[in-house]
Structure 1
Amino acid sequence: MGVFDNLKDKATDAVDNHGDKASDGLDRAGDMVDDRTGGQHGDKIDQGVDVAKDRLDGLDGQDDDIENRQ
C-alpha cells in the first residue's frame, strides 16, 4: 500500500466518523468567503462548497456521509 492509499484511507475514516463536522466546516468556510467578498460571488461559492461535499461524500463510494444543505 502506497503513501497516498494510506492518506486516502485515513481521510475516508475521518469523513465516516466526522462527516457532520466536515459539512459544518465547509458551510462556515463558504460563509466566511462570501462575507469577505461582499456577497459578490455567493452562487459560485455555494457551488464550490457543494462540490467539496460531494467529493468528501464520495470517498467511500457511498452517498451518506456529508449532508448537502443550504
Structure 2
Amino acid sequence: MGIFDRFKGHGQHRAKAMSDAAEKEVNEKTGTKYTGQVDDAQQKIEGAMGMDRDRPEQQ
C-alpha cells in the first residue's frame, strides 16, 4: 500500500486537502526550489486517482 492509496479511502474534499498539505510541506522542506515540479507531480497523481480539478496558476 502506497502513501497515495490512503487518499482513495477518504472523501474527495479530504483527499484534496491532504494532497495540498503534502504539496505545501514538500515545498517548505525544499525551500520552494522545486515548486513547479512538485505541482506537476501533484496534478499527475490526482489525475491518476480521478481527482482532476481546475487549478489556478500558483505563484
Instruction: Tell me whether the two structures share a fold, i.e. TM-score over 0.5.
Output: yes
Contact 1:30 1:49 in 2 (8 A): yes
Residues in 1 aligned to 2:28 and 2:16: alpha-carbon distance in whole angstroms: 18
Structure 2 residues without counterparts, runs of 5 or longer? 1-7
Question: How many residues matched?
Answer: 49
Larger Rg: 1
Residues in 2 aligned to 1:31 and 1:68: alpha-carbon distance in whole angstroms: 18
Matching residue of 1:69: 55
Matching residue of 1:46: 39
> AA paired with 1:31?
K
Off by >4 Å, runs of 4+ in structure 1 = none
RMSD of aligned C-alpha atoms?
1.9
Q: Encode CA deviations 1:23-68: one digit per residue, 9 max, x unaligned.
A: 11011101100011001000000001101110111xxxxxxx5534
Query: What secondary structure, in the 3-state scheme, does the structure 2 residue paired with 1:29 have?
Result: helix
Bigger fraction of residues in helix: 1
| 1:33 equivalenced with 2:26 (yes/no) | yes
If the length of structure 2 is used for normalisation, what is the TM-score?
Answer: 0.69
